[in-house]
Amino acid sequence: MSPDMRTEGHGPTTVKIIVSGGFGAGKTTLIGAASEIEPLTTEEYLTEVSDGIDSLAGVERKATTTVALDFGRLTFRDQQMVLYLFGTPGQDRFWFTWDDLVVGAVGAMVLIDTRRLADGFAAVGYFEQTGMPFVVAINEFDDAPYRYSPAEVRAALEVPDRVPVVRCDARVPSSVITVLLTLVDHALTYEYEQPRPSAPVEQPHAV
């Protein structure tokens, strides 16, 4: 068992999962859909202060943004496992929080919005650099102009073959749970060649 998978006595295994991705990719929605508790969010309304900083191209109807983290919990009683979900902020000015949020995490989900596909590069690169197991989840927005296949997203974002790339709907609990189980299975079964660095990794860069 991974040292990051903790048990308390004979209780369930607790697993910390990071939900990451670009601005407006659906991280808060995803955690809210999967969480069995009222999720903790740190959303603030977008204001004129963010004009010229946060691009709303492709997500023009977005009115709020996560400024610290989102948190939710999901229990799999049949597998004696509890997932703690931590969502990262998407804008680059809040990326300094990532190094603290990922401490103790078993793996990460990188949520992709195909309307803003290039926003996925930073998160993919970050988790590649840390050596943390991760999966790429394509959030299927209704108004996306084109449905990209997992193979197309893999090629566009240069995602390594060992990393699962799957479709999901961040609004649908069953869809989110399928991705989370894929991530847990990937984290448990894949043996990474390089150990995680002890020092903080370089912060992701905007594309």
Determine, yes or no, domain membership for 41: yes
Determine, yes or no, domain membership for 65: yes
Determine, yes or no, domain membership for 1: no
Looking at residue 49, what is its pLDDT?
Answer: 41
CB proximity list for 189: less than 8 A, separation 6 or greater = none
Task: Provide block-wise average pLDDT over 10 residues at a time, the chain (207 residues).
Answer: 51 93 90 93 51 46 56 90 91 70 95 92 93 95 86 96 96 97 90 50 58
Looking at residue 56, what is its pLDDT?
Answer: 46
Determine, yes or no, domain membership for 200: no
Determine, yes or no, domain membership for 206: no
Determine, yes or no, domain membership for 202: no
How many domains would you assign to the chain?
A: 1
24: domain CATH number?
Answer: 3.40.50.300
Q: How far is CA 63 from the centre of its chain?
A: 20
* Bridge-based pairing state of the strands 134-139 and 107-113: parallel
Determine, yes or no, domain membership for 12: yes
Model confidence, pTM: 0.77
Determine, yes or no, domain membership for 37: yes
Looking at residue 15, what is its pLDDT?
Answer: 95
What is d(CA 46, CA 55) in angstroms, rounded to the nearest whole number? 11
Looking at residue 30, what is its pLDDT?
Answer: 95
Looking at residue 202, what is its pLDDT?
Answer: 61
The alpha-helical segments, DSSP class H, found in 9-68 are: 27-34
What is the residue range of 149's domain? 6-189
SS3 state of residue 7:
strand
Looking at residue 19, what is its pLDDT?
Answer: 96
Specify whether the CB–CB gap between 54 and 46 falls below 8 A: yes
Q: What are 3's two structure tokens?
A: 């040292």
Looking at residue 51, what is its pLDDT?
Answer: 46
Burial of 161 (0-12, 13-18, 19+ CB in 10 A): exposed
